[in-house]
Amino acid sequence: MLFHVTMDVDIPRDLDPDVRADTIAREKAYSQDLQRQGKWPHIWRVVGKYSNVSVFDVESTDELHEILWNLPLFPYMTVQVTPLCPHPSSIR
């Protein structure tokens, strides 16, 4: 199942710098592991924002839910999820 996911991040400015750095490092490692597994095939930065547009390829909505909730930055995110399906005009 494919999902379009937009993640807007808003880390509090007063968050301890060491906690911030650790959280961002864990987020990067976790997301790169999911990319290597093929579960997160696309991630695109939104210019001018601390935001990304991603495509997830997972087995179920439950799997996507678990992935998102385990993102270290999840407590600081606003997430929008849109299920995707093939378009009838696609040549693929």
Tens digit of pLDDT for each residue in 17-66? 999 999 999 999 999 999 999 999 999 999 999 999 999 999 999 999 99
pLDDT at residue number 26: 98
CATH topology of domain 2-84: Alpha-Beta Plaits (3.30.70)
- Check if the beta carbon of residue 6 is closer than 8 Å to that of residue 51: yes
**Burial class (CB within 10 angstroms; exposed 0-12, middle 13-18, buried 19+) of 12:** exposed
The 8-class DSSP code of residue 46 comes to P
Which three-class secondary structure state does DSSP give residue 4? strand
Q: For residues 30 and 12, what is the distance between their CA atoms, to the nearest angstrom?
A: 21
- What would the pLDDT profile of 4-14 be if each residue is shown by its tens digit? 999 999 999 99
